[in-house]
Structure 1
Amino acid sequence: MATDGLVYVIDDDEGARHSLEFLIDCAGFKVRTYPSADVFLQAGPPLDHACVVTDVRMPGMSGVELVAALKRRGAAVPVIMITGHADVPLAIQAMKAGVADFIEKPFNDDAILDAIRSAFAQQEGRDEVSAERDQIVERMALLSPREREVVEGLVAGHANKVIAFDLDISARTVEVYRANAMMKMQARSLSELVRMVTIARLS
């Protein structure tokens, strides 16, 4: 069954490249191949809902250097790195660079396909969190300066009376601002409001 995921295979070994292309295509993923990281970057393919499978050691730019280049471009595409060299320091370097997975050759078909599925699942989770954060930030923009101050007090764990004292307003007025803020934020409880503000602060 086809999926929405697009997998880019980057490997200077033509045989390995075509073999991976066939395997990934049969698993239902759309796939495109490139003979080097340089060619891939020059092509500038779309990276939304995509995953990169690349060899570590290639002529020109290496797999680790590719990850760094993608980061500089602000691309959050997951990268799965494969290598035929039992190189532990290189594996550590790759993981620190932010690769989604590191697989050593020879690997079985399930290992690479499981890594691809896992990378897409993690990416989907990040996309959902990002969308939720954007929605919360939009709601927060609707808050008046005073409502925002009351929300900040609530998130800090302060009681209405403490917030009222800090802002030099009555506790009843704090309750009104609190109710208005909860409505604008579409928060059903104080704990949900706190969660929303915490997510917004991650942006």
Structure 2
Amino acid sequence: MRTVPISTIHVVDDDAAMRHSLALLLGVFGHCVLEHTGAATLLDAPGHLSGCIVTDLRMPVIDGLEMLARLRAAGSLVPVVMMTGQGDISTTVRAMKLGACDVLEKPFAAALLLDAVRAALAVESGAPAANDDDATFAARVSRLTGRERDVLHLVLRGRTNKEIGQTLEISHRTVEIHRARVMTKTGCECVQTLVRRAARTAML
């Protein structure tokens, strides 16, 4: 497991059990963990935030996306890792476009969260994050056929297979074949991973 720099982590989740569990995990690695039941306290003084934020996406009053949008509008560049139990492509794309460092779909392994926090803290400190995976992804995308790239770009825009077929005037089955080849050739196990890597390589 990679070493995670020690820093302040703001955990935002209205689910007390989940919030405490995350705080315990991150605290074991020496982080100063501040728990928040909602976004309000973070939005009170966005310019003074440091470290990174680990937040649930779906929360009452102000959800994770709205919180991220308000932070960016206020000029805060604090890195944010999103968590969601109901991930979909359009939500992931929107979060990444707003500047989320990562979007994790629940349930996730502890190592995945720690890697996401490590990358977020690297952004916060200005240190270069490991980019081998991004370079590999970009190289793999460059080897896609023209039609596979067409499908990829529409997937990244949140289009369904039916919508992709209508746009490209190809059958549903043909879309499925091209989409499967895109996933295989890029080495992505799921669409959320595809979106994250595309965002990091400025494809979104």
TM range (shorter): 0.5 to 0.7
**Matched residues in 1 for 2:46 and 2:74: separation?**
11
Unaligned 5+ runs, structure 2: 129-204
CA, structure 1 residues 34+76, in 2 after alignment: closer, same or farther (shift >3 Å)? same
**Matched residues in 2 for 1:3 and 1:46: separation?**
20
- Superposed, 1:34-183 pairs within 5 Å as 34-42=36-44, 46-48=48-50, 50-125=51-126
Greater relative contact order (Cα 8 A, min sep 6): structure 1 or 2?
Answer: 2
User: Can you list the C-alpha shifts for 1:127-174, whole angstroms capped at 9, x where unaligned?
Assistant: 9xxxxxxxxxxxxxxxxxxxxxxxxxxxxxxxxxxxxxxxxxxxxxxx
**Matched residues in 2 for 1:2 and 1:110: separation?**
11
- Superposed, 1:27-38 pairs within 5 Å as 27-38=29-40
**Cα offset for 1:87?**
1.8
**Aligned residue identity for 1:42:** D
Contact kept in structure 2, 1:53 and 1:80, CA below 8 Å: yes
Report the TM-score, using the length of structure 2 for normalisation: 0.57
Unaligned 5+ runs, structure 1: 128-203
**Cα offset for 1:123?**
2.1
**Matched residues in 2 for 1:8 and 1:116: separation?**
11
**Matched residues in 1 for 2:5 and 2:113: separation?**
16
State the partner residue of 1:6: 8
Contact kept in structure 2, 1:6 and 1:30, CA below 8 Å: yes
**Matched residues in 2 for 1:106 and 1:81: separation?**
13
**Cα offset for 1:40?**
2.8
Q: The residue matched to 2:83 in structure 1 has which SS?
A: strand
Contact kept in structure 2, 1:79 and 1:100, CA below 8 Å: yes
CA RMSD of aligned residues (A): 2.2
State the partner residue of 1:177: none
Q: The residue matched to 1:32 in structure 2 has which SS?
A: strand
Structure 1 runs of 4+ aligned residues shifted over 4 Å read: 1-4
**What is the number of equivalent residue pairs in this alignment?**
126
**Matched residues in 1 for 2:46 and 2:76: separation?**
11
Identity %: 40
**Cα offset for 1:4?**
4.3
**Matched residues in 1 for 2:48 and 2:94: separation?**
26
